[in-house]
């Protein structure tokens, strides 16, 4: 089920990027999210990883060892962390 959801989301992202003339590569893999993101970035020579922020403070994120925190520390490339807009 999760893999099917991930593939559906990857297809939606690809379609949105295509509409705007942006080149992206989507890939669905299984494993620990932070480790797999860093591994795939290294294997593919990625220029940028874009991740959402959960909304926790940096101290809370470090304590929990969140995916975003781990990827930002270990990625071989730049990491863009996007926050949800506040209303």
At 55 the pLDDT is 58
The series of mean pLDDT values per 10 residues for the chain, 87 residues long, is: 84 93 86 93 93 64 67 95 76
Query: In terms of Cα–Cα distance, which of 28, 21, 24 is closest to 1?
Result: 28
Considering the segment(s) 31-87 as one domain, its CATH architecture is: 3-Layer(aba) Sandwich (3.40)
Indicate yes or no: pTM above 0.85. no
Measured between alpha carbons, how far is 20 from 4 in angstroms, rounded to an integer? 25
- Any idea where the domains of the chain sit in the sequence? 1-27, 31-87
Is 46 in contact with 26 (CB distance < 8 Å)? no
pLDDT at 47: 92
């Amino acid at each position: 089920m999760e893999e099917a959801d991930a593939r559906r989301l990857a297809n939606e992202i690809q379609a949105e990027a295509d509409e705007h003339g942006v080149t992206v590569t989507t890939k669905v893999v299984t494993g620990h999210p932070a480790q797999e993101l860093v591994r795939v970035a290294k294997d593919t020579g990625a220029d940028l990883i874009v991740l959402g922020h959960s909304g926790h403070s940096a101290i809370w994120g470090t304590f929990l060892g969140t995916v975003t925190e781990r990827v930002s520390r270990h990625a071989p490339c730049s990491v863009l962390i996007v926050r949800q807009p506040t209303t």
